[in-house]
Structure 1
Amino acid sequence: MYMKLDLQFFNQEKTEKASPKKRDDTKKKGQVAKSNDVNTSMILLLVFLFMFLYSAVVGEYMFTMAEHVFSEYMRWEITAQTLPAIFQELAVETALVIAPIMLIAVAGGVMGNMVQVGVMFAPEAIKPKFSKLNPIKGLKRIFSARALVELAKSFTKIILVTVVSFTIIWMHADDLLKLSRKSVTEGFMEVAYVTGLIGVAVAFLLLLLAIPDYVYQKHDHEKQIKMSKQDVKDEHKKSEGDPKIKSKRRQKQQEMATQRMMQEVPKADVVVTNPTHFAVALKYDEANMDAPVITAKGADHVALRIKQRAKRHEVITVEDKPLARGLYEQADIGDEIPEDMFKAVAELLAYVYRLQKNVT
């Protein structure tokens, strides 16, 4: 009894790598090895690199907009007609400034996902799951090993980002302290430069930290989707027992067998037909065969294909209803003809050889 229980426990232990089907099923549910840090770092890196190139345009645009506000709107009378017009114009101008940055951020997020999981569409991942509202499961997630790892990662990132940011600000402290002596434009460009430098440095830092995080997430994902020996057996039984899979496999095997058989038709000496229901291709090599061999046979549609292929390759076709039916029913492809049909086949081959001599 104890031995039986031990075997059951061993069969339920998840020790086997996930099968291709299990991987496809988990991918359809949106469960893949992915680090959110990769997405975050890619977004920050692309946005701040873009800002380095775009900051002058943003600054100029903002100054122009501020000048327009103070030179035009300040003289307007605030009424029910002018106030919506002011807000509408400011909203459009602000959108023109922010839109390129938002597009770059979206591109960074998409790129981060593409690098990790490729193209993936998982509608099941966005379906509402009421099991996530279970408070007991929520507490288990909070106090799990994964939560502790995430907490340690967050503290590490906060400390490193703080150190990097403070170091860059310290290096530019003299320039920042002199902002009061500079014009508004120069001051804006100085602050934008330091901000961009901090952003790019932090993005590179997070990208470096994302590499081990992705390795950990991949390892953890592989661990989560492992299968027990019983799971492997059940999946194998299910796939083998699925009528659709069996039917597709059988259809594929039949197609391959028919294709191989059709390749032998041009090598045949003669094709015997019923004429419409059966067709049997015969081959005889006196040096290597004791008796003629059936190289192809078929009924109805397959018989029609055999006759068409024989005609295309100029293989002689002879109509003999009893012989065609007898050969089709009493022998398989690759078999020698039955002994009781030796005489009929010999006469048929003699007739074919005479035709070939007359043609030549």
Structure 2
Amino acid sequence: MKLHLDLQYFAGEKTEKATPKKRQDSRKKGQVAKSQDVNTAILLFFVFIALIVMGGQWKDTMTSMYEKSFTEYIHWDITEYSVHTLFVELTLEMAMTLAPVMGIAMLAGVAANYMQIGFLFTTEPLQMKLNKLDPIQGAKRIFSARALVELLKSLLKISIVGVVTFSILWMNKDDMMMLAGKDVNGALAFFGNITIQMGIAASIALLILSVMDYTYQKYDFEKNIRMSKNDIKDEYKNIEGNPLIKSKIKEKQRQMAMRRMMSEVPEADVIITNPTHYSIAIKYDEEKGDAPYVVAKGVDFVAFKIREIAKANQIMLVENRPLARALYDQVEIGNVINEEFYQAVAEILAYVYRLKQKA
């Protein structure tokens, strides 16, 4: 009894790698090996690269808006129309300024996702599930090992990004102290340069961390989708289908094979019978083989149908009980007859050919 329970336990333990079907089903549910840190790092990196390219244009745009506000907008009368116009113009200007960076950020996010999981569209994670509202399950998720790992990862990221950004500020502390002697353009250029340096350095540090995080996420994903031996057996049964459906499919296949076999009977040279219970249709074709082969065979009702088709097509029936039984048992449809039957079949075919010549 104890041995039986132990076997059941080990059969239910998830020790096997996931099957392709299990992976496909998990993917449809949105369960894939993916690191959000990869998305964040790549997005930040390309956004700061875009700032390098478009920083000068942003400065000119912001300066132009500032000048226009104090040279033109300040003289407008405060009316409903003027306030509406002011907000529309400023909103459009800001939208045109930010649109390229937002577009780059979107493309970087899509590219980062595609690099990790390829193309995937599913609404499964968005579906409402009542078990997510269960406070007990929620507490288990909060105090789980995965939550602890995520907390440690967050602390590590904050520490590394903090060290990187502080290091850059510390290396430029002397220039920062001299800002009092610089004009506005010089101060803006300094802070813009420092910001971009810190952003790119932080994104590179996050990218290095994201590689390790992706490795962990892949390991954790593989662990979560493992299957037990019972799971694999159940999946195989489901793939095979319901026994009733299987029997219907097999019956349909038998019917198709029967129709195919019956369509070959009119091509036979002779039908060897039992005389009533067995019918074997034999044909000899030099182009297909050196020996005669079985075109069709059957017992009882099928044998009767073979004889019926043979009579309708004027194919001769020859009674030979031992030979009919032996051919039925030992030769499959479409196969040439065994050597032991060569002489008996050859005599029957010679007899049939002589009768055909006389006719």
8 Å Cα contact 2:12-2:230 kept in structure 1 = yes
Q: Aligned in 2, Cα 1:23/1:341: closer, same or farther, shift over 3 Å?
A: farther
Cα distance in 1, alignment partners of residues 335 and 356 from structure 2: 18
The alignment status of 1:123 with 2:132, answered yes or no, reads no
Cα distance in 1, alignment partners of residues 109 and 20 from structure 2: 27
Q: Deviations over 1:93-126 (max 9, x none)?
A: 0001111111111111111111111111122122
Cα distance in 2, alignment partners of residues 111 and 243 from structure 1: 46
The alignment status of 1:321 with 2:313, answered yes or no, reads yes
Which runs of structure 2 are paired with 1:218-297 in the superposition (5 Å)? 218-242=218-242, 272=267, 283-284=285-286, 289=290, 291-293=291-293
Q: Deviations over 1:142-177 (max 9, x none)?
A: 111111111111111111111100111111222233
1:332 aligns with 333
1:312 aligns with none
Cα distance in 1, alignment partners of residues 26 and 140 from structure 2: 22
Cα distance in 1, alignment partners of residues 352 and 78 from structure 2: 109
8 Å Cα contact 2:17-2:227 kept in structure 1 = yes
SS in 2 for 1:201: helix
Which runs of structure 2 are paired with 1:147-226 in the superposition (5 Å)? 147-226=147-226
The aligned amino acid for 1:342 is L
Cα distance in 1, alignment partners of residues 207 and 112 from structure 2: 11
Q: Aligned in 2, Cα 1:282/1:99: closer, same or farther, shift over 3 Å?
A: farther
The alignment status of 1:342 with 2:344, answered yes or no, reads no
Tell me whether 15-24 or 182-191 shows the greater mean CA deviation.
Answer: 182-191
8 Å Cα contact 1:56-1:189 kept in structure 2 = no
Tell me whether 331-340 or 87-96 shows the greater mean CA deviation.
Answer: 331-340
Question: What residue ranges of structure 1 are gaps of 5+ in the alignment?
Answer: 262-270, 275-279, 297-319, 351-360
Which runs of structure 2 are paired with 1:34-73 in the superposition (5 Å)? 34-73=34-73
Cα distance in 1, alignment partners of residues 355 and 62 from structure 2: 97
8 Å Cα contact 2:268-2:295 kept in structure 1 = no
8 Å Cα contact 1:46-1:105 kept in structure 2 = yes
SS in 2 for 1:284: coil
Q: Aligned in 2, Cα 1:70/1:13: closer, same or farther, shift over 3 Å?
A: same
8 Å Cα contact 2:283-2:292 kept in structure 1 = no
The aligned amino acid for 2:349 is F
Q: Aligned in 2, Cα 1:123/1:344: closer, same or farther, shift over 3 Å?
A: farther
8 Å Cα contact 1:42-1:207 kept in structure 2 = yes
The alignment status of 1:28 with 2:25, answered yes or no, reads no
Question: What residue ranges of structure 2 are gaps of 5+ in the alignment?
Answer: 261-265, 270-281, 297-311, 319-327
Q: Aligned in 2, Cα 1:349/1:225: closer, same or farther, shift over 3 Å?
A: farther
Which runs of structure 2 are paired with 1:4-19 in the superposition (5 Å)? 4-19=4-19
Report the alpha carbon displacement of residue 234 of structure 1 after superposing the two structures with TM.
Answer: 0.8
Cα distance in 1, alignment partners of residues 22 and 317 from structure 2: 49
Cα distance in 1, alignment partners of residues 316 and 37 from structure 2: 72
Q: Deviations over 1:322-347 (max 9, x none)?
A: 44999xxx872233499386248757
Report the alpha carbon displacement of residue 245 of structure 1 after superposing the two structures with TM.
Answer: 9.5
Report the alpha carbon displacement of residue 348 of structure 1 after superposing the two structures with TM.
Answer: 12
The aligned amino acid for 2:125 is A
RMSD over aligned CA atoms reads 3.7
Cα distance in 2, alignment partners of residues 21 and 33 from structure 1: 16
1:78 aligns with 78
Report the alpha carbon displacement of residue 40 of structure 1 after superposing the two structures with TM.
Answer: 0.6
Q: What TM-score do you get using the length of structure 2 for normalisation?
A: 0.74
8 Å Cα contact 2:161-2:202 kept in structure 1 = yes
SS in 2 for 1:31: coil
8 Å Cα contact 1:272-1:324 kept in structure 2 = no
8 Å Cα contact 2:34-2:116 kept in structure 1 = yes
Report the alpha carbon displacement of residue 27 of structure 1 after superposing the two structures with TM.
Answer: 0.5
Q: Aligned in 2, Cα 1:31/1:293: closer, same or farther, shift over 3 Å?
A: same
Cα distance in 1, alignment partners of residues 152 and 317 from structure 2: 80
1:354 aligns with none
SS in 2 for 1:178: helix
The total of aligned residue pairs comes to 304
Q: Aligned in 2, Cα 1:18/1:93: closer, same or farther, shift over 3 Å?
A: same
The aligned amino acid for 1:321 is N
Q: Deviations over 1:190-211 (max 9, x none)?
A: 2111111111110000000011
Cα distance in 2, alignment partners of residues 246 and 43 from structure 1: 52
